[in-house]
Structure 1
């Protein structure tokens, strides 16, 4: 919204100041031109009259008496001054000496000066200024209307892309609400509401993931619970129908095993459901990944001979120790489950990034299956009879990596020939 507010303020100020200044200058130029034209035509008769009076008074011996008899009620005033009382610059002096009238303008009058060369006097013709205010009112009204209409037009031009983007956002939200969960808003660099559009896309992506995960959870529950429930029902029925102590003990063990399996599945479901909550608190601070890997590897005491790892100094990232340990344990367990003889753990700094690589010498993961394995309850290859769990390990790793702004990807291991899991953190 900051971009929207600033752009609106800029457009309004630019329109008001720029358009006002342009119209003001244009009006002033028109007014000045009109005033000059009007003044020139109106003063022509006064110049002619003044020139005739000046020629007459220059030859008249009683010029002062003539001026004294000039009607004081006339709107045109006449007066005589000595030539020496009118000092002029050299250029004006030369023009005035050749008989060209000199026009001066005061606040209320226009003064036209005529030279009387024989008497070395100056005749001053004083003409009151005409009030042009009434004549300009119509023009002022036109320019005022143009000013406000211009601002309105500029604001409407600015509003057009905003309205278009809002309509697009409304259509996307409507389509999303009707079930088109892949609906997204196309974001352009010039959009005033790009932050809102990005938040909508993030929200839509989050909801789509939740819905897809819920579908997977539903399918997994229906599949993984059905088998132990069926065995449990069969075991209870068999237990009711036998009196043999050995068979009863065997059926009881089977029932207990099925209940344990169901408990584990429910625990996995609850754990992942908790991780899907938007309010999970990730307490991030500086964590030494080398030290954390040492701790996680130390938990695999019986399989240490399969793990190739050498700690090298200290490499820190911002993260939550509990969730990072969960990420490492899931990756190590997954690699140990699919490895033939060994796994390799590497931790290196690449510029401002810290890169964690966990690879194994197993059969690897086909490229077209890698993205699927990042979803919950998606199992890997079980062709060799290896237990593949519930398919939650990599889904949990993906979610924890997202919380830490890290990138998680799956590749082929060049050194060992199996799969290679890479987590790239922002280093400290």
Structure 2
């Protein structure tokens, strides 16, 4: 919008200057200036003519000229003029005086030969005053037209945005607005495109969640159906108890699955407000790792982090992100996991590596998507949501999650990259 403000300001200033200059040129009438010079010349000639007559004959001669040439030149004593001394001296100069009264402007001039008298000549009213209203209307019309010109591209972009929103609302979810560096609404257009991308991603994930849930829940439902039929057909109490125990485990599996899916769905729809705080990274990682001690078993976890490093993030969500990756590493690691941290290019890198089988190169992007499970590890517990949550937490922090392989341990390596 800054570009729009500057354009409107520049247009307003330029249009005022140009229109004022144009209208002043129209309003200034050269004929009036010539008429004024002619009036001065006529009065000067009349003075020269009367100066050749005695004082007692000048009034009569002036009356004769007025009647003969249809003039209206007055003859009066200088004492009738209430003028200061400097202005009285100008009466005898060539240009004389131009005075004004309630009737308009008039010329006053005298010569020593008039014996303390002067001549007056009424000037015609300027004709331009009759066109003041027209010139005013022309000025405002021209100004409105000039201000409308920079608004033409704005209205076009707004129309484009409205049409794009209408198409998007009708189900054409691939609708986007092509950016233009000359547009006044670049920020609005980027916001629309970003909103469209987010809606597309949300719909795609919801569709994927629905299809994954319908696919994954079939197995426990089939087991429950089989167990129920077996209980109804069995007459042995011990067999019935075994079937009921198995059915209870299937129900627990379904409950865990639904809880995970609903938790992820709620996470997708929440407007998360991060609570940033600073903390020393080394003790923070120690505390996060201690929460997983019951799951370690024979796997050793090493933390390689300088005591001088600080982390600035939402510590709750970052801890959940690290725990998800550690839980995933514990599932595949053989004997050890290494957590390391370092800074690079004004970014904090937190790396979690294990000595497990690693993530195939062709799957390193897919594992960050929700509900994705590698074909080699589908028998493991989980629903493919842990890394998807980590990826989303990093996006909230304006960071990213990288998936690679550990050069030292040979297994998978997940790196959290946060801006410092």
**What band does the TM-score fall into relative to the shorter chain?**
0.7 to 0.9
2:340 maps to 346
1:151 maps to 143
1:278 maps to 270
Q: TM-score scaled to structure 1, two decimals?
A: 0.79
1:131 to 125, 136, 140: 125
Cα deviations by residue, 1:76-101 (Å, 9 ceiling, x for unpaired)? 234688xx99768xxxx9xx7xxxx4
1:339–1:349 CA distance, 2 compared to 1 (3 A)? same
1:340–1:42 CA distance, 2 compared to 1 (3 A)? farther
1:105 to 98, 122, 146: 98
Within-5 A mapping of 1:17-416: 18-29=14-25, 30-31=27-28, 33-54=30-51, 56-57=52-53, 62-67=54-59, 70-71=62-63, 75-78=72-75, 101-107=94-100, 108-112=105-109, 124-132=118-126, 135-137=127-129, 139-244=131-236, 247-280=239-272, 282-301=274-293, 302-303=296-297, 305-313=299-307, 315-350=309-344, 352-380=346-374, 382-383=375-376, 387=380, 389-416=382-409
Aligned with 1:389: secondary structure? coil
2:83 maps to none
Cα deviations by residue, 1:130-167 (Å, 9 ceiling, x for unpaired)? 211xx224543442232122222123223222221221
Aligned with 1:296: secondary structure? helix
d(CA) in 2 for partners of 1:184 and 1:399? 24
1:423 maps to 416
Q: TM-score scaled to structure 2, two decimals?
A: 0.80
Cα deviations by residue, 1:301-322 (Å, 9 ceiling, x for unpaired)? 3357443323421544444333
Aligned with 2:402: secondary structure? strand
1:359–1:53 CA distance, 2 compared to 1 (3 A)? farther
Aligned with 2:249: secondary structure? helix
d(CA) in 1 for partners of 2:317 and 2:159? 41
Contact 1:331–1:358 (CA<8 Å) still a contact in 2? yes
d(CA) in 2 for partners of 1:86 and 1:42? 20
Aligned residues: 402
What displacement does 1:407 show? 2.5
d(CA) in 2 for partners of 1:270 and 1:52? 113
Higher mean displacement: 162-171 or 355-364: 355-364
d(CA) in 2 for partners of 1:304 and 1:198? 51
Contact 1:102–1:113 (CA<8 Å) still a contact in 2? no
Aligned with 1:106: secondary structure? strand
d(CA) in 2 for partners of 1:80 and 1:367? 114
d(CA) in 1 for partners of 2:333 and 2:30? 94
